[in-house]
Amino acid sequence: MKESMYKYMRVGLIHFMAYPDTMAGEGPILETIRKIAVDDYFNAIEITWIKDDKVREQVKKMLETSHMTVAYGSQPRLLTTGMNINDLDDAARKKALDNLKEGIDEAYYMGAEGFAFLSGKYEEDKKEEAFAALVDSTKELCAYAKSKGNLRIALEVFDWDVDKKSIIGPVDLAKRFAEEIRKEYDNFGLMVDLSHLPLLRESARESLIPVKDYIVHAHMGNAVAADPSLEAYGDAHPRFGFPNSENDVDELVEYLSVLMEIGFLNTKNPPIVSFEVKPWKDEDPDIVVANAKRVLNEAWARL
């Protein structure tokens, strides 16, 4: 496409995936966020919890200076602690909810416009109970966020039987879930991810078109899905072009084409579309990020 991609989307990077040493809310947070803030390729950044008050304050000032849009990913708050937002044990579910509410508070403090989370594991014979628990939890999160401002809540669609084994999930259930929440809360939507499509065994059209009215945020990335014996199998988000992986320039072209077709990519209110890429083993994070930028440049030129 001849027109600039920045006319249609705000290009972002998920900080805590590109620099996974920061995922637990500690580590080289300041210096790695600064790398993104000084790179004018990105006009959005997705951050997660920052445990140290002084570091959090320094990051806040840095991002205010950067003129970047900020979004908050709470997934590490659940994945690194083993908490489950649709846990059928009420005490455990409340603990997960309280954790995410703390994340919402932090997101507001950091000036984020969106807050993302994921659904948890479930037992097949208790799927409806888990679905109901997820609905209750999500409505509570949406109400909590709404009481404090205009932060948008997004549930990220994950695999249901490969790695994260989240209840949301297959596109039909994702649609049912989004419809249920939107009945009461207009500050809710779905986050889709190119990385997860091979794990869901859904094409871009199959995964995106049924939920087109609910998509509020999108990720770009890769996955190895063909065989559990392969390196980086599962939800590992390896770089584009990783051996035996599923996504590269062609797949990103298809994904962006569908997002354009359904009106998600648009000029009136360009959405955040972020890279979710993670260095594998001893790969250099900065080179993995450069890889992603090259792939998007080529994909956009071919739209």
User: Three-state DSSP class for 220?
Assistant: strand
The rounded distance, in Å, linking the Cα atoms of 239 and 223 is 8
Mind listing the domains of the chain with CATH numbers?
Answer: 5-301 (3.20.20.150)
User: So what's the pLDDT on residue 1?
Assistant: 85
Per-residue pLDDT 10s for the chain (303 aa) are 899 999 999 999 999 999 999 999 999 999 999 999 999 999 999 999 999 999 999 999 999 999 999 999 999 999 999 999 999 999 999 999 999 999 999 999 999 999 999 999 999 999 999 999 999 999 999 999 999 999 999 999 999 999 999 999 999 999 999 999 999 999 999 999 999 999 999 999 999 999 999 999 999 999 999 999 999 999 999 999 999 999 999 999 999 999 999 999 999 999 999 999 999 999 999 999 999 999 999 999 999
Task: State the maximum Cα–Cα separation within the chain, in Å, rounded to a whole number.
Answer: 54
Phi, psi of 211 (to 5 degrees): -115, 20
User: So what's the pLDDT on residue 301?
Assistant: 97
- The answer to whether 158 and 169 have CB atoms below 8 angstroms apart is yes
Q: At what angle do helices 29-37 and 53-66 cross, to 10 degrees?
A: 0
- The answer to whether 88 and 126 have CB atoms below 8 angstroms apart is yes
Dump strand ranges (E) for 7-164.
10-14, 44-47, 69-73, 114-118, 152-156
The rounded distance, in Å, linking the Cα atoms of 69 and 204 is 26
Two tokens, residue 255: 């994904």
The rounded distance, in Å, linking the Cα atoms of 48 and 62 is 15
The rounded distance, in Å, linking the Cα atoms of 5 and 106 is 30
The rounded distance, in Å, linking the Cα atoms of 166 and 138 is 14
Dump strand ranges (E) for the chain.
10-14, 44-47, 69-73, 114-118, 152-156, 188-193, 215-220, 272-275
According to DSSP, the residues that pair with 215 across neighbouring strands are 190
